[in-house]
Amino acid sequence: MQCESSQELKGLIDEAKIYTKDGQVAQYIPALRDADPDKLAVAVYYPDGSCYAAGDVRHKMSLQSISKVITLALALIDRGEDVVFDHVGKEPTGDPFNSIIKLETISPSKPLNPMINAGALAVTHMLIGNTVEERFERLLNFVRELAGNSTITYNEEIAKSEFETAELNRAFCYYLKQHNVINEDVEELIDLYTKQCAIEVNSVDLARIGCVFAMNGIDPVTDKQVIPASVVRICKTFMVTCGMYNASGEFAIDVGIPAKSGVSGGVMGAVPHKCGIGIYGASLDDKGNSVAGLKLLEMMSRKYDLSMF
Ligand code: GLU
């Protein structure tokens, strides 16, 4: 990991750190409960391959919902837009990520977008491969390629812990199966999904992946087009409209960058044409966003004029 430590970012971390006291770490996945709520890290990755960071940058976090953007990109590459949007919609819900309420009220019955759990499960279902292992391996290799880090793997304990407790996600799957959105074995899909959510990265990895999205799919080091620009455009639009759970509207006003958060406390930002941002701060607000991470992004957006609006 090549990333210079930055005094300027350290100043922002020191300022934002007091807000970690305003939230708490995710409780509903047992293996996430022991996370240290005081840790805070930020990394910024630029298109020329330079990187600046501050705080607990080596600390690993599971991707959780951040993985939803990456699986969406892979499913769009694998299956194309028409098939993907046959299974999942394009509209924000304004509801929590694990809400079931709108699934029943819309017609045809498909999840409203790929960033809520029901939609993400429908997307994971579309990943190509003959077995769960094969599909997961492809996803993992894709994450490794985007992060430029071949050592990335998943945390077995977190995956197992979520697998053993994911009854609500199972309920979504059965609902989707009843309505022909998915047609695979539910336990297999939950196995794949919980492994996907347990892929572990640090803030630098996240910032680098964010940078690929910021640069419309071009790898900042190899200059290779690793995701088609048309796919990145769709992913970034979802990041703006529903990437920060049901706080996405507020985030668009206060910060104004495409971003995706996860309940482990990670946030991945993609500032169009400028940089990728990776944040870790496990203390969450009541919507599931890193409470100090949000403050940090707000400060950075103002200081560096990052808002795209
Ligand atoms: N694995 C988590 C779940 O499905 C991801 C949720 C999140 O990060 O928002 O509940």
How large a percentage of the chain has pLDDT more than 70?
100
**Percent of the chain that is helix, strand, coil (3-state, to 5):** 50, 10, 35
- Mean pLDDT of the 138-157 span: 98
Q: Which atom of ligand 1 is least distant from the CA of 262?
A: 8
Q: How confident is the model at residue 1 (pLDDT cuts 50, 70, 90)?
A: low
* Alpha-carbon dihedral 236, 232, 85, 193, rounded to 10 degrees: -80
For 204-226, letters b (16+ CB in 10 Å) and e give bbbbbbbbbbbbbbbbbeeeeeb
- The pLDDT, as a whole number, for residue 134 is 98
Task: Calculate mean pLDDT across residues 187-194.
Answer: 98
Cα separation, 297 vs 282, whole angstroms: 15
CA distance 133 to 71: 15
Q: Among 29, 69, 160, 201, which is best to mutate for testing ligand 1, by the most ligand atoms less than 8 A from CB?
A: 29
pLDDT, tens digit, for every residue of 225-271? 999 999 999 999 999 999 999 999 999 999 999 999 999 999 999 99
**In this model, does residue 298 exceed pLDDT 60?**
yes
Residue of 104 and 299 predicted with greater confidence: 299
Q: Stretch 185-197: mean pLDDT, rounded? A: 98
What 3-state class would DSSP assign to 166? Answer: coil
Whether 92 contacts 251, CB under 8 Å: no
Q: What is the mean pLDDT of residues 285-304?
A: 97
pLDDT at 279 exceeding the cut of 80? yes
The response to whether residue 71 sits with its C-beta less than 6 Å from ligand 1 reads no
Structural domains in the chain plus CATH codes: 4-64+201-303 (3.40.710.10), 67-197 (1.10.1500.10)
Q: Is 174 a catalytic residue?
A: no
66-120 pLDDT tens trace? 999 999 999 999 999 999 999 999 988 888 888 887 888 877 789 999 999 999 9
How many Cβ atoms sit within 10 Å of the Cβ of residue 266? 29
What mean pLDDT, rounded, does the chain reach? 96
25 within 8 A of 283, measured Cβ to Cβ: yes
pLDDT tens digits, 48-67: 999 999 999 999 999 999 99
Catalytic residue among 132, 212, 263, 271: 263
Residue 165 has, within 13 A of its CA and on its CB side, a CA count of 12
C-alpha 56/C-alpha 28 separation (Å) is 24
- pLDDT digit string (tens) for 199-225? 999 999 999 999 999 999 999 999 999
Amino acid at site 220: P
